[in-house]
Amino acid sequence: MKRIGILLMGLLLAAGVAAGQGIAERCVRDSLMHQGVMRSYYVYVPEQVEGTLLVVLHGYTGRAEGGKVQLLDLADELGMVVCFPQGLRDPKGKTSWNVGYPSQEGMEVDDIDFMEVLVRGLQERYGLDGKNAFFSGMSNGGEMCYLMARRKPDLFAGIISIAGLTLASMEPLRYEGAVPFMEVHGTRDTTSYWNGDYDNRYGWGAYLAVPAAVGYVVDANGCTGYRREDCTAGGKPVTRHRYYGGAPARGGQGHGAEVWLYEVTGGGHNWADGEFDVYAEIGRFIERFRY
């Protein structure tokens, strides 16, 4: 009995360690050469792969290994490969994605092309469906979401921004097609303000209010319907603004491109995972729009 007890305790401890493991422990670190620079990333491959890819970008000054491990559990559930790429350093020495902040002036990194090369390479390596790539990012990574929606909409089955913004410098870049889009944003975010910063008071460059930025996507997708839904789950009030009836994505060959805006009343600059089950909503979005 004593031996059995020790064995059970060891199994429980091992399970506890596994549960506490982060991205670096549960993923494989890899790299690729892009435009003369070695770019690194972490990739997670579940036991059962259903052909879907999710690329997740960190925020400004972030690290790939700081990604949300909850997304790996979602990957197991959906049979989805997940990739966490690492941003390069900007002129201030901060790890970031090149979205056009004033502090990034002179930064020549082409992160838009890097994302396409990364996605295509992962799809080929792991035998994934070329139609089922999803793109996500938080904060600076969220800005990349809006940028990729404008520049590479046909590359993705859907895009998921967390606390992301549309910079005023992006406005001349027209949306080139429809793409399902999701935004999660707190109304009291004091880094990426809900009401925007048209005067560049905080140094990120002038940017649009969140409803206005999302409105651009709604217009680009040609959405004709609207539904307001309560997603509150014990934390701060969460409202989903769902815009539907949009044009088919992928040059007219794909799903009707909806837009889901999650307004977290009183929420801050984070994933809002303390307010509601944001990962379940991400999973719901992916299942709705994957092929």
Reported as a single tens digit per residue, the pLDDT across 30-64 is: 999 999 999 999 999 999 999 999 999 999 999 99
Superfamily of domain 23-289 in CATH is: Alpha/Beta hydrolase fold, catalytic domain (3.40.50.1820)
Report whether pLDDT(1) > 50: no
pLDDT category of residue 21 using cuts at 50, 70 and 90: confident
pLDDT category of residue 5 using cuts at 50, 70 and 90: very low
Q: Cβ contacts of residue 273 below 8 Å, gap of 6+? A: 68, 70, 279
What pTM was computed for the model? 0.93
Structure tokens of 104? 């990034």
pLDDT of residue 253: 87
Q: How far is CA 263 from CA 48, 88, 109, 161, 258, in A?
A: 34, 31, 32, 12, 16
Pair 58, 87: CB distance under 8 Å: yes
pLDDT of residue 146: 98
Q: Is 117 exposed, middle or buried (0-12, 13-18, 19+ CB in 10 A)?
A: middle
Reported as a single tens digit per residue, the pLDDT across 63-104 is: 999 999 999 999 999 999 999 999 999 999 999 999 999 999
Reported as a single tens digit per residue, the pLDDT across 95-117 is: 999 999 999 999 999 999 999 99
280's enclosing H/E stretch is: helix 278-289
How far apart CA 137 and CA 55 sit, in angstroms, is 8
pLDDT (average), residues 252-263: 94
